[in-house]
Structure 1
Amino acid sequence: MLNWQLTLAVSGGAVVGLGVFLMVRELLPASPALGPALRRLHQPPTVVRPSASAARSPEWLTGAARWLRPPHRQLALIGQTPEQYALSVLLSALIGVATPTLAGAFLAMMGVGLPFVVPVLGSLGAGFLFALVAHQAVVQKADRAREEFRLAVCAYLDLVALQLSAAHGPVQSLERAAEVCDGWVFERIREALRIAQMQMHSPWEELRDLADKIGIPELGDVGAIMRSSGSEGAQVHDTLRSRADALRDQIRTDDLAKAEAVTSKLDIPGSLLVFVLLGFVVYPFLARL
C-alpha cells in the first residue's frame, strides 16, 4: 500500500513539474525566424498573417484553442496567440487537477483516509478554478494594456497635430510622430505603418485594421481624421487636438468612476467595524441581564 501511494505521489509531482516546465518554456520570449517574418510582411491584405508560434503549434493545441473560444482582441492586444492562451489554460487546469490528488496521496501516506469522492470533486473544482484564474489573468492584463494604449493614443494625436503644423504631409506626419516616443504602443503603431509602406497601402487604413484587431477604436479615429487631411488642410490640426482633449476627458471620467467604485467598496468594512464597536458597547449591558 505504501508503494502505491509513493508511486502516485511521484507521478503527480512529475506531471506538475512537466506542466510548470512547459508553462515557463512558453512564457520565455523566443527569437523569431527571419523567413516567416518576411513572408508576413509581403502577404496580401486579404490573407490572415499567422504568427511563427502558431505555425509551430501542434494540431491538437489549435483544436483546443478553437474549442475554448479565446478572446481574440484581448490576445492580439497583449501579443499572445490563441494557442498560447489554450496552453496556459490547460496547464493551469492540469495543475489544479493534480493538486488535490497529491494532497490526498500525502494524507493517505500520513494515515489519514479520505473518501474517494473527496479528491475527485476537489480535482474537478480546482481544475475549473485554476483555468478560470488563468482566463481572468489574460483579461486583466488586456484591460491594463488597453488603458495604456488609450493614453498613448492621446499623445500620438498631439504629436501628429504638431507634425501637421510644421508643414509635413499626412503620411509623413504619422510616421514622424510614431518615431518620437518609445514603448510597446508606439512600436505597434510603427509596425503597422511599416507594413503599410511595404505593401503600398494607405497608413490610415492599416491603423484602422489594427484598431479593429485589438479593439482600440481611438486609434481608428486617427486614421479617419487623417483620411480627410488632403481636402480640409488646417482643420485637421484642430480636429486632432479636439479629439485628444475629448479622449483625455473620457479617460479622466473613467478613472473617477473606478475610484468611486473602489471607495464604495470601502464602505462595507467601515460599516462592519461600526457593528463590532456597537457590540462591544452593548455586550456589558446584555451580560448583566
Structure 2
Amino acid sequence: MINWQLAMAVLGGAAVGLGLFLAVREALPAAPALAPALRRLHQPPGTAVAGGRGADWLGGFSRWLRPPHRQLALIDRTPEQYALSVLLSALLGLAVPTVLSAVLFLAGVPLPLAVPVLGSVGMALVCALLAHRAVLAKADAAREEFRQAICTYLDLVALQLSAAHGPVQSLERAAAVCDGWVFDRIRESLRIAQMQMHSPWDELQELAERIGIHELGDVGAIMRSSGSEGAQVHETLRSRADSLRDQIRTDNLSRAEGITSRLDIPGSLLVFVLLGFVLYPFVARL
C-alpha cells in the first residue's frame, strides 16, 4: 500500500530543493560567452543576436510581416520585437470579444456564434494595425528629434574644426559634448569605426542609410572631403546647419497649417448646428 503522505512529502521536498537550486544557480555569476559578445560588438545598432527555436519562429514571422526596417532601426528595435508586439496586440484583440461573450453568456445573454468570432477577428486586425501605427508614429517623432540634434552636431563639429582639431577628432569631440539617445547612437557608430579601423564618415553614412536620416549622411559626406582632400569645411557645416533649421521650421509650419485646416471641419459643423437651433422655432411655427 502506498503511503500518500510520505509520497507528497518527498515530492514537496524535491520541488523545494529544485527551486532553491535554480535560485542559487541564477544568483551565481556565470562565465561570459565570448562568441555572443563578439557578435554584439560587431553588429550594427538596432539588431539583436537571435538564438533558439523561439527566435527562429519569431524571425520567420517577422519576415512574413515585412516590418519597416528603417523605422525599427531608428528607434533601436529589432524585427523580432516588432513581430512580438504585433502578435501580442492581435492576441489581446482576439481575446477581448471572447471574454465579453463568455461574461454575457454567464449573465444569461447568449450571443450567436458568429458575433464573437467576427468580433475577435476584427479586433485582432485592429489591434495589430494600431501596434504597427504606434511604431511608425514613434519613429516619426524620433526622426524629428534626430534631425534637430543633427543641427546642433553640425555646429559643434564646425566649432571643433575652427579650433584647429582634425576631422576625426572633431567628430568625436563634438559627439562627446552632448547627451541624449541621438548622440549615443553617433558615439556608438564612431566607436565601431575606431575598433573596426574604418573611417568615421563612412560609418556615419552607413548609419544614416540604415535609419533613413539623410542629414546625418550629409555630415559624413562633408567630413569626407575634409579628411581626404584637406578642405576647410567649417563654413559648409554651418551653412548646412542653417539650411536644415530652415527646412525643419518649414516642415513644422506646414504640419501646423494642415492641423489647423482639419480643425475647420468641426468648426463648420458647429456653425450649422447652431444655425439649426436658431431656425428650428421659426420652421416649427409654419
Normalised by the length of structure 2, the TM-score is 0.84
Question: Do the aligned partners of residues 140 and 159 (structure 1) sit closer, same or farther apart at CA in structure 2, a change above 3 Å counting?
Answer: same
Question: Do the aligned partners of residues 259 and 158 (structure 1) sit closer, same or farther apart at CA in structure 2, a change above 3 Å counting?
Answer: same
Which residue of structure 1 lines up, in the alignment, with residue 127 of structure 2?
130
Which residue of structure 2 lines up, in the alignment, with residue 7 of structure 1?
none
2:46–2:76 Cα contact (<8 Å) kept: no
1:63 & 1:40 partners in 2: Cα distance? Answer: 21
- Structure 1 residue 269: Cα displacement: 1.1
SS in 2 for 1:241: helix
| Runs of 4+ off more than 2 Å | 33-43, 54-58, 230-234
- Structure 1 residue 38: Cα displacement: 3.5
Range moving further from structure 2, 104-113 or 54-63 = 54-63
Unmatched runs of 5 consecutive residues or more in structure 1: 1-32
Which residue of structure 1 lines up, in the alignment, with residue 231 of structure 2?
233
Query: In the TM superposition, what are the counterparts of 1:193-232 in structure 2 within 5 Å?
Result: 193-230=190-227, 231-232=229-230
- Residue number among 84, 103, 114 corresponding to 1:87 in the alignment: 84
Number of residue pairs aligned between Structure 1 and Structure 2? 252
1:193–1:206 Cα contact (<8 Å) kept: yes
2:175 & 2:124 partners in 1: Cα distance? Answer: 44
Matched letter for residue 41 of structure 1? L
Give a deviation string over 1:11-48, Cα, whole Å, max 9, x none.
xxxxxxxxxxxxxxxxxxxxxx77434333357x9xx9
2:123 & 2:240 partners in 1: Cα distance? Answer: 47
Which residue of structure 1 lines up, in the alignment, with residue 58 of structure 2?
61
- Structure 1 residue 114: Cα displacement: 0.9
2:208–2:217 Cα contact (<8 Å) kept: yes
Instruction: Provide the alpha-carbon RMSD of the alignment.
Output: 1.7
Give a deviation string over 1:156-180, Cα, whole Å, max 9, x none.
0000000000000000000000000
- With a CA cutoff of 8 Å and minimum separation of 6, indicate the structure with the bigger relative contact order: 1
Give a deviation string over 1:238-261, Cα, whole Å, max 9, x none.
110111011101100000011001
Question: Which has the greater radius of gyration?
Answer: 2
- The answer to whether the aligner puts 1:75 opposite 2:72 as a matched pair is yes
- The answer to whether the aligner puts 1:248 opposite 2:245 as a matched pair is yes
- Structure 1 residue 85: Cα displacement: 0.4
Matched letter for residue 170 of structure 1? P
- Structure 1 residue 51: Cα displacement: 1.6
Which residue of structure 1 lines up, in the alignment, with residue 40 of structure 2?
40
Question: Do the aligned partners of residues 177 and 37 (structure 1) sit closer, same or farther apart at CA in structure 2, a change above 3 Å counting?
Answer: farther
Which residue of structure 2 lines up, in the alignment, with residue 26 of structure 1?
none
SS in 2 for 1:265: helix
Which residue of structure 2 lines up, in the alignment, with residue 165 of structure 1?
162
Give a deviation string over 1:121-142, Cα, whole Å, max 9, x none.
0000000000000000000000
- Structure 1 residue 265: Cα displacement: 1.0
2:153–2:175 Cα contact (<8 Å) kept: yes
2:154–2:219 Cα contact (<8 Å) kept: yes
Percent identity for Structure 1 against Structure 2: 73
2:47–2:73 Cα contact (<8 Å) kept: no
2:223 & 2:85 partners in 1: Cα distance? Answer: 40
2:86–2:131 Cα contact (<8 Å) kept: yes
2:234 & 2:91 partners in 1: Cα distance? Answer: 54
- The answer to whether the aligner puts 1:189 opposite 2:204 as a matched pair is no
Give a deviation string over 1:57-112, Cα, whole Å, max 9, x none.
52111110010000000000001100010001011001101110011111000111
